[in-house]
Structure 1
Amino acid sequence: MKGFYTVLLVFSISGLMAQEIDTIPIDTKDLQIKLKHSPLPSRIGSLIYKPIELAPKVVDAEINYWNTKTSVGVNLNQAAFSDNWSGGGVNSMALSGLINYRTEYRKENLSYTSEVILNYGKVKNRGQLEKKTVDRIYWDNKAAIQLSKNWYFFGSINFESQFDAGYSYETRNGQEVRGAMLSRFMSPGYLTESIGFEYKPNPFFSTRIGTGTARQTFVLDTTIHNDKNNNFGVPIGSKMINELAFQVVMNYDKDIFKNINLKSKYMAFVPYDNFGYINHRLDIALTAKVNRYMNTAITGVGLYDRYTSSKIQGSQTLSLGLVFIFPR
């Protein structure tokens, strides 16, 4: 222990001697020591601030509340067989066209939507008369005020008819002949006005509930006899009938896969004075985009209207064609 304290005493004395040596002043007069300049610049004087005027720039831009889209499609189906083709078949050609125009206006809680669908097509089989495959004129207009996040109050008016006359066909002496005329432009024609509420939880699905709906059915050609008692609900000899009803319209439009779109519309028309004559219509279109200008589509229509038939009516088409969309 004595050795330890001795060593400790020696280190303490050495430290004190070092402190005494470090504090001894040194005369640097004749040593010619040159101090380095500080790397930081030094300024002498006061800083003067001058205000700078910034001229505001006016951007010449307008907000466009309109969104417009137009689709034009042409479908051509053709089949040909040689005279000795053992598998059977008949030469045929089908051509159809579709124009779909849609414009939408949105500003704050107000919205307006207008959609026009024009669709017409014909088919010609060898040895037979040409026939219509599709024929429709549809124009829908809707204005709405947003009440809450998903609910709107709306008013709508739409028109529906066809371009060309439709006939029945029968065979006489082995030849196909045209029978009676069944329909034509504005025979029938439908004009529907509706007010009510719309539920729209997302951009691709909506449901209209038209509590106050009126529909006028027109049959301007009184020579057409769709039924022995009435023409599309219009009494024989009359040209128009008006109905008050409850209407439901459901729309679904979404890309379910990449380049594959599913679009459907369901409409139910329930007359207040005759619940037994409820009209149903379901339109479904599945479209697959092949490239920028080509697509293939399968469409189907299911219709139940007791004024025209006591059974469900249906149609289906499969097509490959060209489509042009504006703006791209």
Structure 2
Amino acid sequence: MAVAKKIDIPFISMSHWINKNSVGIDLTQIAFVNWNAGGTSSVAGLFTGTFTRTRSDINSEWINELIVKYGLNKQDGLDMRKTDDDFRFNSTFGYRQDTFSNWYFSAKFNFRTQFTDGYKYPDTKNPISKTFAPAYTFLGAGADYFNKEKKFDVYISPLTLKNTLVLDQTLADKGAFGMVKATYDAEGNKLTSGEKSRTEVGILVTNYYKKEVWKNITWENRLSLYTDYINNFGNIDVDWKMQLDLIVNQHVKANIGSQLIYDDDVKNIEKIDGVQVVSGAKVQLKQSLGIGMVYNF
């Protein structure tokens, strides 16, 4: 009698989900001992994390992305200071009618806030920002041109709801981040509290592009443009981030990054004669250079 042989059939996952995770840490340190030219010893660290969940089908694409950053710096004679603080969640769902087109009918949700208090150093007694103060959400629908092979994405939404939250009452009373500030009588007694939220409806245009410009050097571009229909239409809020990744090997890389932000609702805070004074909105710029370890899984 013949004996049936056992055949092992490999398991093939039928899931449409693709998971990508990346965490890294950049460290910078400089120390001086009897250094005649002078200088200040310091150490700085930056943690970054990107977690992506993508569900792909023949005619649909759902991309979820969580981006976190947090950096600290310590110099001799100074307290620990924050250098970077970012928490972002992006979710985009798109549907196309056929496989010949790169245009999708899309819905997009974005959320952004920070982890800890922010200060106008050296003043560490009066925070100028906190967790959920501010927090921004964007929710809208529109058209999305998505080319997966070229890693190029342009999203256009003629109807986007933008909500700004300032859940700290002290900051809300000051009218921070475009809130309606508190009102006071002649003796300084508060009559009405500052509002903690503000809602706008406008146009949102975003762009994402990633390309290997040279061998082991990758350029990544993220641009967001928004203008409100009712309040100062044509006054555009800009959030533009660029980064060059220089890959040494699988776990070591260097990066050069920059970010430009302009938001007319975010007023510049200056200190005049020891008093914080709110002036007009200004272009915000941030530049970074780091070398560190990265782990992809």
TM-score by length of 2: 0.83
Aligned twin of 2:116: 164
Tell me how far apart the structure 1 counterparts of residues 13 and 169 of structure 2 sit (CA, whole Å): 53
User: Which of 211, 225, 247 is the matching residue for 1:268?
Assistant: 225
5 Å-filtered alignment, 1:215-230, equals 215-224=162-171, 230=175
Instruction: Flag structure 2 segments of 5+ consecutive residues without an equivalent.
Output: 1-8, 182-193, 268-280
Asked if 2 retains the 8 angstrom alpha-carbon contact of 1:95 and 1:121, the reply is: yes
Aligned length: 261
Aligned twin of 1:246: 203
Instruction: Flag structure 1 segments of 5+ consecutive residues without an equivalent.
Output: 1-57, 171-176
Task: Give the deviation of 1:62 after TM superposition.
Answer: 4.0
User: Which of 68, 78, 89 is the matching residue for 1:128?
Assistant: 78
5 Å-filtered alignment, 1:102-113, equals 102-113=52-63
User: Which of 145, 161, 182 is the matching residue for 1:214?
Assistant: 161
What secondary structure does 1:89 align onto? coil
Aligned twin of 2:179: 234
Structure label with greater radius of gyration: 1
Aligned twin of 2:264: 306
Tell me how far apart the structure 2 counterparts of residues 79 and 62 of structure 1 sit (CA, whole Å): 49
What secondary structure does 1:88 align onto? coil
Tell me how far apart the structure 2 counterparts of residues 107 and 201 of structure 1 sit (CA, whole Å): 15
Aligned twin of 1:5: none
What secondary structure does 2:133 align onto? coil
Asked if 2 retains the 8 angstrom alpha-carbon contact of 1:206 and 1:252, the reply is: yes
Task: Give the deviation of 1:248 after TM superposition.
Answer: 0.3
What secondary structure does 2:14 align onto? coil
Distance 1:63 1:184, change over 3 A: same
The amino acid that maps onto 2:62 is Y
Identity among equivalent positions (%) equals: 30
The amino acid that maps onto 2:104 is Y
Aligned twin of 1:119: 69
The answer to whether the aligner puts 1:75 opposite 2:31 as a matched pair is no
Asked if 1 retains the 8 angstrom alpha-carbon contact of 2:172 and 2:180, the reply is: no
Task: Give the deviation of 1:200 after TM superposition.
Answer: 2.3
Tell me how far apart the structure 1 counterparts of residues 287 and 88 of structure 2 sit (CA, whole Å): 18
The answer to whether the aligner puts 1:259 opposite 2:216 as a matched pair is yes
Asked if 1 retains the 8 angstrom alpha-carbon contact of 2:172 and 2:179, the reply is: no
Aligned twin of 1:137: 87
TM-score by length of 1: 0.76
The answer to whether the aligner puts 1:182 opposite 2:128 as a matched pair is yes
Asked if 2 retains the 8 angstrom alpha-carbon contact of 1:247 and 1:270, the reply is: yes
Task: Give the deviation of 1:64 after TM superposition.
Answer: 3.2
Tell which deviates more after alignment, 304-313 or 191-200.
Answer: 304-313
Distance 1:276 1:209, change over 3 A: closer
CA deviation vs aligned residue, 1:132-183 (integer Å, no higher than 9, x gap): 111000001111101451211100111100001001224xxxxxx5242100
CA deviation vs aligned residue, 1:104-149 (integer Å, no higher than 9, x gap): 1111101100000010001011112221111000001111101451
Aligned twin of 2:141: 195
Aligned twin of 2:244: 286
Asked if 2 retains the 8 angstrom alpha-carbon contact of 1:76 and 1:321, the reply is: yes
Asked if 1 retains the 8 angstrom alpha-carbon contact of 2:166 and 2:172, the reply is: no
Task: Give the deviation of 1:63 after TM superposition.
Answer: 2.8
* TM-align CA RMSD: 1.9
Asked if 2 retains the 8 angstrom alpha-carbon contact of 1:143 and 1:155, the reply is: yes
Tell me how far apart the structure 2 counterparts of residues 102 and 254 of structure 1 sit (CA, whole Å): 18
Asked if 1 retains the 8 angstrom alpha-carbon contact of 2:172 and 2:196, the reply is: no
Tell me how far apart the structure 2 counterparts of residues 312 and 219 of structure 1 sit (CA, whole Å): 21
What secondary structure does 2:170 align onto? coil
User: Which of 44, 52, 61 is the matching residue for 1:94?
Assistant: 44
Aligned twin of 2:186: none
Asked if 1 retains the 8 angstrom alpha-carbon contact of 2:156 and 2:205, the reply is: yes
Asked if 2 retains the 8 angstrom alpha-carbon contact of 1:168 and 1:179, the reply is: no
Tell me how far apart the structure 2 counterparts of residues 96 and 60 of structure 1 sit (CA, whole Å): 40
The amino acid that maps onto 1:146 is R
